[in-house]
Amino acid sequence: MSLLFSSFTSPTQKIKKVLFFGDSITEAGVKSGGYIDVLNTMLKEQKLDDQYELVGAGIGGNKVYDLYLRMETDVLSKKPDIVVIFIGVNDVWHKQSMGTGTDADKFSRFYQAIISKLKAQNISIILATPAVIGEKTDHSNQLDGDLNRYSNLIRELAKKENLPLVDLRKAFLDFNLKNNPENKDQGILTTDRVHLNAAGNKLVAERMWQVIKTLN
């Protein structure tokens, strides 16, 4: 009887809490049509919505040091199982638009400090590169160079720390090469060169899910 009983029962599966930590792109991600909302829809369609809880922790205008400063209240207190770090656009963009931004060495140091704090709590971590600041395909977007540089810094951290990476920078560049024959600076994956339209939200959701589902 014990064997028969055990074959019909299984331990309760723990719901994985996935927290998305970022800026205005993530802040918008929880709204209707945002990438986190799209992810929730994907989970429902795959009948996996009872296995994951998705939480948005994005604040508009945030840079990497803003994320570091609000880790305790917005991340660690929520006790997530997985944290997706999606930051970098404002660290580059605000150099031009506001005269601020974040120097590359400080960007790496703050990013490393975030990773170290999460690892100390045994939280699984996924890194994501920033996507675009302008969608032109001929390398003429004004901030392409810096955005590539900061994306490389994140790739290096992922390699150094042995962490999974969602390379949105590469994904967006590849998509635009195939789908932006008129070399438009917006309207393919973004509404304004940075923030995501429906196609952009779908692409981000799909790429993030490809990595999230691999984590135990």
Domains recognised in the chain with CATH numbers: 14-212 (3.40.50.1110)
Q: Residue 100 has what pLDDT? A: 72
The two three-digit tokens of residue 183, written as one number: 């070399």
Q: What is the model's pTM?
A: 0.92
Quickly state the pLDDT bin for 12 (edges 50, 70, 90). low
Mean pLDDT calculated for residue range 45-74: 97
Quickly state the pLDDT bin for 94 (edges 50, 70, 90). confident
Q: Is the pLDDT of residue 201 over 80?
A: yes
- Where does the chain show beta strands of DSSP type E? 16-22, 52-58, 82-86, 124-128, 165-166
Residues 131-178 pLDDT 10s = 999 999 998 999 999 999 999 999 999 999 999 999 999 999 999 999
Contact 214, 164 (CB under 8 A): yes
Range of weakest confidence among 36-45, 78-87, 100-109, 205-214: 100-109
Amino acid at 137: T
Q: Name the average pLDDT for the chain.
A: 93
Cα–Cα nearest to 108, from 159, 57, 58: 159
